[in-house]
């Protein structure tokens, strides 16, 4: 009898619920990752490149531990049939369940196929500290606002780390799907180069330790400053499950109690909250949650969207942020709020355009958190910022990048501008431009919109949608 451990967003050999159960319950275990060709993103996706680099990293780790991760490449139904044909005595499959979005749809499709094949599926909650159905109001309904959710979340006992007893002798080591492996490697060779990005469980643990030892104590004060290495940077590891959320929580809680520790733990609760929101609002990727704002008369200017995406808006903090993401696959959280607000309320472009672009470019892309963040910034989510609150990109820049260090790193055309004038280069005199070695309108664009006027138009558009 053969059992299968199907890895998805849990790319690790430790603290893994489904893997623990699979190893303890089976005599012969096939380790599987399925590359679903129906899920591919457009060419040039750093998100996709990062995720599949994580898969390859896990494959190498399993090999170094005396096992093999089999790759199936293709559509789900055809791949599972191939697996059943190759392993006719396959009886059980172990998975860590998804509760929303693509993962939930895939699991429903897989469940039907497995049932027809006579394979028993064993599913476990693993991706979050608390499942989408675990934290409810006193009347038994899902929360809509974060603060009361967080108050209930704090009261709940948190799960402990799980011990996985690895046993390589149980793992099928023969290469069963050689052609699929070749297709996977060919696919990897066509992805954007992320050589400088460290992924995998070892890198995740190193970063967690470094964060706790060197950055956690100043997290509350420094987390909004983009040029500082003050955030955990664990998001790219958590999204692929290279480290478990239980491990992160338990290790952080060993640190001395402080306001910074509390603030960081609150961010872990936001992760659970957005998972719950997506599970209870399954259409939120395509549709604003607040009905009042589903009829906004968006401008949706494609030229302005392109300038935003390329970091050529004439607003230095916005441009630096977008270029950071385009170059590295990561963007500081404060900058995600600034760039999202700018797209939606300065350019009056539908938030879903920005969400999809972030999906393409972020190596830490998590659908629930990304959609939740965009709907928050766009004032269309359950607990979004008020629609009349519009971030002033210049004020945000002056506040969170005071000396312009971050801007100078990612917008080198402006590095010659001294002091605070870097926040509004369009106000430089010709003499100042000459001294800085930049010509505004030529080397760096003029602002593509007038913020004050754009703010007025955005508020009016939101108010008109409510009528």
Catalytic residue numbers read 267, 270, 298, 333, 351, 374
**Pick from 95, 96, 88: nearest CA to 118:** 88
Contacts of 102 (CB under 8 A, 6+ apart): 39, 367
Complete DSSP assignment for 217-263: GGHHHHTT-TTS--S---HHHHHTTSS-HHHHHHHHHTSPP-HHHHH
Side-chain-facing half-sphere of 248: CA atoms under 13 Å: 29
For residues 248 and 158, the answer to whether their CB atoms sit within 8 Å is: no
Question: Is the separation of the CB atoms in 325 and 410 below 8 Å?
Answer: no
Task: Look at phi and psi of residue 140 and say left if phi exceeds 0, alpha if psi is from -120 to 50, else beta.
Answer: left
Pairing, β 69-74 against β 90-96: unpaired
Residues with Cβ within 8 Å of residue 85, at least 6 apart in sequence: none
Task: Name which of 235, 400, 390, 419 is nearest 328 in CA terms.
Answer: 235
Instruction: List the structure tokens of 313.
Output: 């808006």
Q: In what order do the strands lie in the sheet with 28-36?
A: 69-74, 28-36, 2-7, 90-96, 120-124
Decide the pairing of beta strands 28-36 and 69-74: parallel
Reference 146, options 257, 255, 249, 268; nearest CA is 268
Spatial CA neighbour of 247 closest among 136, 153, 323, 159: 159
Query: Contact at 8 Å (CB) between 185 and 175?
Result: no
Decide: helix, strand or coil at residue 57. helix
Residue 138's SS3 state is coil
Q: How far apart are CA 248 and CA 208, in angstroms?
A: 7
d(CA 209, CA 224): 21
In angstroms, rounded to a whole number, what is the distance separating the alpha carbons of residues 160 and 153?
A: 16
CA 129/CA 117 separation, integer angstroms: 33
Helix axes 367-377, 333-341, angle to 10 degrees: 50
Determine the 3-state secondary structure of 71 from DSSP.
Answer: strand
């Amino acid at each position: 009898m053969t059992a299968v451990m199907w890895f998805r967003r849990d790319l690790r050999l430790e603290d893994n619920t489904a893997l623990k159960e699979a190893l303890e319950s089976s005599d012969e275990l096939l380790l599987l990752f399925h590359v679903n060709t129906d899920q591919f993103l457009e060419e040039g996706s750093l998100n996709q490149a990062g995720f599949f680099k994580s898969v390859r990293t896990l494959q190498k780790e399993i090999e170094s531990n005396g096992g093999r991760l089999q790759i199936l490449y293709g559509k789900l139904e055809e791949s599972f049939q191939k697996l059943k044909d190759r392993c006719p005595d396959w009886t059980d499959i172990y998975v860590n369940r998804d509760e929303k979005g693509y993962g939930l749809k895939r699991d429903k499709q897989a469940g039907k196929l497995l049932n027809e094949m006579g394979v028993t599926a064993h599913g476990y909650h693993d991706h979050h500290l608390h499942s989408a159905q675990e934290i409810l109001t006193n009347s038994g309904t899902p929360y809509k606002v974060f603060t009361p959710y967080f108050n209930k979340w704090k009261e709940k006992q948190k799960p402990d780390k799980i011990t996985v007893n690895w046993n390589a002798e149980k793992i099928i080591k023969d290469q069963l799907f050689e052609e699929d492996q070749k297709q996977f490697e060919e696919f990897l060779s066509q992805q954007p180069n992320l050589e400088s990005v460290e992924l995998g469980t070892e890198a995740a643990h190193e970063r967690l330790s470094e964060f706790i030892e060197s950055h956690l104590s100043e997290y509350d004060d420094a987390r909004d400053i983009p040029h500082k290495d003050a955030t955990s940077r664990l998001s790219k590891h958590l999204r692929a499950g290279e480290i478990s959320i239980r491990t992160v929580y338990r290790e952080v809680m060993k640190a001395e109690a402080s306001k910074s520790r509390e603030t960081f733990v609150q961010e872990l609760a936001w992760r659970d909250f957005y998972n719950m929101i997506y599970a209870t609002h399954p259409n939120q990727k395509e549709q604003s949650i607040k009905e009042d704002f589903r009829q906004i008369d968006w401008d949706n200017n494609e030229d302005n969207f392109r300038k935003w995406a390329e970091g050529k808006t004439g607003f230095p903090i916005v441009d630096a942020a977008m270029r950071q993401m385009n170059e590295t696959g990561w963007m500081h959280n404060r900058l995600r709020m600034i760039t999202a607000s700018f797209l939606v309320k300065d350019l009056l472009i539908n938030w879903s355009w920005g969400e999809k672009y972030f999906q393409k470019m972020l190596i830490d892309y998590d659908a629930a958190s990304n959609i939740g963040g965009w709907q928050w910034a766009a004032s269309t989510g359950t607990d979004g910022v008020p629609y009349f609150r519009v971030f002033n990109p210049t004020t945000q820049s002056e506040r969170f990048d005071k000396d312009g260090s971050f801007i100078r790193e990612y917008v080198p055309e402006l590095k010659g501008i001294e002091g605070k004038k870097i926040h509004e280069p369009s106000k430089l005199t010709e003499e100042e431009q000459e001294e800085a070695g930049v010509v505004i309108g030529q080397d760096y664009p003029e602002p593509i919109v007038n913020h004050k006027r754009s703010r007025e138009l955005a508020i009016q558009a939101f108010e008109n949608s409510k009528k």
